[in-house]
Amino acid sequence: MLSHRRLRVYLVSAAILVCFILYFTGDVRRSQALRSSSKIGIVNTKGSGNHGKGNDASVFEKLKPGSLRPDEHHTDGSATEVDKTDAARQTVIPDQKETQTQDTESRDESVKEELNSILKRSPIIIFSKSYCPFSKKAKFYLLEKYDITPAPFVVELDEHPLGKELQGLLATNTGRKTVPNILVNGKTIGGGDEIETLYTSGELGTKLQSLGGKRVTATLRKTEGPEP
């Protein structure tokens, strides 16, 4: 029968042997694992190198001129929508300008027709403004001081719906921008000051008849009214 001392020695020896076995077994496993990971790393490195080349090639292919399709230029549809909107505006704007031009031409034609219609009303036309003192002066000499046949036709531009446009057209046709503007057979003889000067010199009646022709008679009234 073994003594207690020998039994302890055997147990310690067995424990040491087991530890050595476990240690060497673990070391072998670690070595195998390291070798396997090294092989996998080499394979991955080769594969990734080839993959990188493929990506570079595909990138360069995409960067070649004309290689992108029209729909690849935008990441979303917003830019394309903006282009469509701009194109629509470019299409609409000329139409609007054309419409405005047509409206302006139509209005200009209406003004010309109105002026021609006015000029047919009488050989002598007084273009006036109701509040203008110079217009009042001209009307006084032409309507109060003289008996004119046919009677002068008065147009108050401030009360006429096309008054502003008529005044502009008169400025173009006669060179006179202000009122009053006295026309005899379509020719201007001036405004309030010019009419007063002709009256003072005694030439107003003669001037009206010479420009108006046989149709116009201008007789000085006997009754003197107050000066304007």
Domain ranges of the chain: 111-227
Q: What's the mean pLDDT when you consider all of the chain? A: 79
CATH topology of domain 111-227: Glutaredoxin (3.40.30)
The partner residues of 125 in beta bridges, in order of sequence, read 153, 183
* The model's pTM: 0.56
Least confident segment among 26-30, 62-66, 175-179, 211-215: 62-66
* Torsion (CA) 204, 210, 211, 214 in degrees, nearest 10: 120
pLDDT in tens, 63-115: 455 545 544 444 455 555 556 556 555 555 556 667 777 778 888 999 999 99
pLDDT in tens, 26-39: 666 666 666 666 55
CB 195 within 8 A of CB 189: yes
Residue 176 half-sphere exposure, CB side, CA atoms within 13 Å? 17
The pLDDT of residue 102 is 74
